[in-house]
Amino acid sequence: MRSLNQLIRDDAGTVTLNGENLRLLNKRALQRARRNIGMIFQNYNLIDALTVVENVLHGCLGRKSTLRGMLALYSADERAEAMALIGEMGLSEFAFVQCRHLSGGQKQRVGIARALMQHPQVLLCDEPIASLDPKSATLVMDILRQQADNKQLIVVVNLHQVAIARGYADHIVALNQGAKVFDGTAAALTDARVQEIYG
């Protein structure tokens, strides 16, 4: 997942978004391209010392000048948008609570709101539900599916749970020990196929 937005720089292959190969971009161009790619993580990677709304507002740092970003000078529109996103996630009552006080599922939703704040074309989700209980996991996957539909996002999710992948995805790429063993629609990934791949 990290090579998709070049958080790990690999040395072969191509990652193309809107016609440009991300692997070949220099630092500044890559930074600009990353605005278009949101990412959520297994361990949420939120700033626990800050409140929910402050974390969500981090999503627009890519669009702001260095100085305004450093000093956290956000415009009224940006704040309104952040509050709206927090509302969409069902976290309105927690908007001014420090993230250290939130549960795993709530933190992941804040992470999603932060990524959506970027107005991305692509949303990368690196094991988003691995640390969550089943109820929160379903909630998060529902939100991801909803947002993908409503905002026409490309959502790339990295999961170990085959059942969940089949339940939510349009297209599935299955890997087994580093090799690609399936690349097709979710409908085509039948029980028989899964048995074949993973035994």
Q: Residue 34 CB, nearest distance to other proteins (Å)?
A: 4
d(CA 122, CA 85): 17
d(CA 38, CA 124): 6
Q: Please, which of residues 6-45 interact with other proteins by CB under 8 A?
A: 7, 31-32, 34-35, 37-39, 41, 43, 45
Q: Residue 176 CB, nearest distance to other proteins (Å)?
A: 27
Q: Which is nearer to other proteins, 63 or 151 (CB)?
A: 63
Per-position DSSP letters for 133-187, written without gaps between them? -HHHHHHHHHHHHHHHHHHT-EEEEE-S-HHHHHHH-SEEEEEETTEEEEEEETT
Q: How many residues bind other proteins (CB under 8 A)?
A: 31
Q: What are phi and psi of 120, to 5 degrees?
A: -80, 165
Q: Residue 26 CB, nearest distance to other proteins (Å)?
A: 14
- Contact footprint for other proteins (CB under 8 A): 5, 7, 31-32, 34-35, 37-39, 41, 43, 45-50, 58-59, 61-64, 66, 69-72, 114-115, 118
